[in-house]
Structure 1
Amino acid sequence: MQIQPYVFFDGRCEDALRFYADTLGAEVLFKMQYKDAPPETNRPADPKSDDKVMHASVRIGESIVMMSDDCMSPQVIHSGFSLSVTADSLAEGEKLFNALAEGGKVNMPWQATFWSKGFGMLTDQFGVHWMVTIPDGA
């Protein structure tokens, strides 16, 4: 069994895919736009949605994260969860933290804590909450 996060974006999934490729080395494994769905499916009637992302599977490190523009919902809100990234070193953790924080909001600055030599929390420019840490002893 696997648990894979599915993150929705309010019409900015393409931007998010590029941002996560640049900051996290994300690799798009599969991407489908709404216009690619068969006409008999329950897709949005608004032609402006045709080029939006209906579904994408993205590899980030060893994990798969799924993403979509979610043109079926009136509003996307990211609440009650964070995506957690464990970097291999203190320097890599700080670099990832700073890159993800660009254009977003730092909720807890990158710093040493009693459980890790490097940890920080942020909300990125797409409203997704992140925690970045390094493993104990790194």
Structure 2
Amino acid sequence: MITDIINYLGFDGNCEQAFKFYEKALEGKITGFFRYKDAPGDYQHSPEAAERVMHVTLQVGDKFIQGGDAPMGMHKGHSGYCINIVTDNNEDADRFFAALAEGGTINMPISETFWAHRFGMLIDKFGVPWMVNHPKPMQ
């Protein structure tokens, strides 16, 4: 039985900076943080990887986003997906969109659409694609 499905973001050495940014932008709290050097037992990593993030969890309300720095040389970038933030009011949608867009690229400015009171798309300063959505009731 599946108990949850959580977005897991991979980075190439800048996971810590990204999650500190998300913690502030999404008004969440980092609840778990582990570096490669913190791994127990005989887990092998290169000296260059010691300070990279092996795993981090960000809690936003009752939702979670997780991530880590990929093993050295294995990160392939961010493409083919978007993290979708769903809000229940325009003010939150606008606030989260503005916070995530800081230093990033807006692909579609947040505005009303036929399916949403507010909808916008952006790529944040770490290259992660996001959508922010305050949906209208389904007909």
TM-score by length of 2: 0.89
Q: Which runs of 5+ in 1 are unaligned?
A: none
For the residues of structure 2 that align with 1:80 and 1:42, how far apart are their CA atoms? 31
Q: Which residue of 1 aligns with 2:11?
A: 9
1:54-73 to structure 2, matched below 5 A, reads 54-73=54-73
1:1-138 to structure 2, matched below 5 A, reads 1=2, 2-38=4-40, 40-43=42-45, 45=46, 47-136=47-136
| Alignment check: 8 A CA contact 1:11 1:71 kept | no
For the residues of structure 2 that align with 1:102 and 1:20, how far apart are their CA atoms? 11
TM-score by length of 1: 0.90
- After TM superposition, the structure 1 stretch with the greater mean CA deviation from structure 2, 63-72 or 89-98, is 63-72
- After TM superposition, the structure 1 stretch with the greater mean CA deviation from structure 2, 103-112 or 69-78, is 69-78
> Do the aligned partners of residues 76 and 60 (structure 1) sit closer, same or farther apart at CA in structure 2, a change above 3 Å counting?
farther
Dislocated runs of 4+, deviation >2 Å: 71-76
Q: Which runs of 5+ in 2 are unaligned?
A: none
Q: Which amino acid aligns with 2:25?
A: T
Quote how far apart the aligned CAs of 1:61 are.
Answer: 2.7
What is the alpha-carbon root mean square deviation over aligned residues? 1.5
For the residues of structure 2 that align with 1:128 and 1:48, how far apart are their CA atoms? 24
% identity of equivalent residues: 39
Greater strand content: 2
| Alignment check: 8 A CA contact 2:105 2:122 kept | yes
Quote how far apart the aligned CAs of 1:133 are.
Answer: 0.8
Quote how far apart the aligned CAs of 1:39 are.
Answer: 5.3
